[in-house]
């Protein structure tokens, strides 16, 4: 739990109302004592990295800040091609604070969702002990749902940690706090993403975007030129210069689901070209190296995802 750390950082300085909202973010390592039978690959681990952030704000800024986080979460999930649904989790049986504060916090979250035109359902009694929350549930291509992002509105912790800001009237006032994560567990999100794409990551996301395949040893020099050309333009590429037949190299590249394989031989070296093979589509023919590079940079820039994942 990273929350106390952010509050201690906030408390280390005097803050004016002009300083707010104050947003703090960190990639923090957190631990949970999961029983061994519950551990499952990257999906459920005992130690994981959380993209944690805390926002300290004026009461008048609550709606705007919540809407900003909703926009952030929506942009991230759409970038990766995920559909999601939203749940508004309300006060649990064991909770801090008065019913009036809980009602104010819950209505603030609900108001922000309605203003954004977001569909949601109520999840009674599943809020955090210190406040209600908006939960984002991803849906992968296998139809499974994963609770990843969350927005939690907290009036309690600023009170317990005696957090203050100096208001326009020169008096001390209590800030309101948002806890938010987008991915939740970075490790779990990578696991979800890997299964969603069945390991066939789109070009913009793939660890290796291009593999260059020289046909014989005499084509190694040109393959290295192609590699240097791609690397200079920020494309993640490598050369398979092993003493293997080209058919073997192509098959292995397909098994590893590399988005683009570039076969280079005498004709390609002579013409400054590459023979392109795209994962899932096969042979795309030969084209100039500059033409291929321009096309790939555009594809990466648009963050294009496959129409159907899990293929």
179 an active-site residue?
Answer: yes
Residue 254 appears among annotated catalytic residues: no
Distance CA 37, CA 27 (A): 27
Q: Cβ-count burial of 63 within 10 angstroms (0-12 exposed, 13-18 middle, 19+ buried)?
A: middle
Catalytic position from the list 91, 179, 229, 249:
179
- Indicate which residue of 51, 61, 91, 133 is catalytic: 133
Q: What share of the chain is helix, strand, coil (3-state, %, to 5)?
A: 35, 30, 35
- Written as six digits, the tokens of 136 are 């984002």
**133 is known as an active-site residue:** yes
Query: Which of 3, 51, 148, 180 does the annotation list as catalytic?
Result: 3
Active-site entry in 52, 135, 154, 240: 52
Catalytic, 54? Answer: yes
Active-site residue flag, 52: yes
Of 15, 18, 47, 50, the catalytic one is 50
Q: CB under 8 Å to 10, separation ≥6 — which residues?
A: 22, 24, 54, 56, 163, 175
Per the annotation, the verdict on 50 as an active-site residue is yes
What's the gap between Cα 120 and its chain centre?
21
| Marked catalytic residue, from 31, 32, 114, 278 | 32
| Sequence-ordered list of residues with C-beta below 8 angstroms from that of 311, at least 6 positions apart, any chain | 198, 200, 280
Residues tagged active-site: 3, 32, 50, 52, 54, 133, 179
């Amino acid at each position: 739990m990273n929350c106390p750390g952010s509050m201690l950082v906030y408390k280390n300085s005097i803050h004016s109302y002009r300083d707010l909202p104050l947003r703090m973010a960190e990639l923090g390592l957190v631990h949970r004592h999961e029983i061994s039978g519950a551990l499952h690959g990257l999906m459920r681990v005992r130690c994981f990295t959380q993209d944690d952030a805390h926002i300290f704000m004026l009461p008048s800024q609550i709606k705007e800040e919540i809407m900003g986080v909703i926009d952030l979460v929506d942009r991230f999930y759409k970038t990766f091609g995920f559909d999601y649904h939203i749940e508004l989790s309300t006060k649990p049986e064991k909770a801090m604070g008065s019913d009036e504060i809980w009602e104010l916090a819950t209505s603030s979250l609900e108001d922000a969702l309605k203003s954004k035109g977001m569909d949601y359902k109520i999840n009674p009694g599943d809020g955090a002990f210190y406040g209600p929350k908006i939960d984002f549930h991803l849906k992968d291509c296998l139809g499974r749902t994963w609770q990843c992002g969350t927005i939690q509105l907290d009036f309690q912790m600023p009170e317990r940690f005696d957090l203050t800001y100096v208001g326009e009237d020169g008096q001390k006032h209590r800030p309101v706090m948002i806890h938010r994560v987008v991915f939740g567990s970075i490790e779990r999100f990578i696991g979800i993403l890997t299964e969603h794409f069945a390991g066939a990551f789109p070009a913009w996301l793939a660890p290796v975007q291009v593999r260059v395949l020289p046909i014989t040893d005499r084509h190694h020099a040109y393959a290295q030129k192609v590699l240097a050309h791609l690397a200079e333009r920020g494309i993640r590429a490598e050369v398979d210069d092993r003493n293997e037949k080209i058919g073997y190299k192509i098959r292995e590249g397909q098994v590893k689901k590399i988005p683009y394989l570039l076969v280079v031989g005498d004709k390609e070296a002579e013409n400054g070209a590459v023979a392109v093979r795209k994962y899932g589509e096969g042979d795309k023919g030969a084209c100039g190296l500059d033409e291929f590079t321009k096309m790939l940079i555009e594809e990466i820039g648009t963050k294009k995802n496959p129409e159907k994942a899990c293929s």
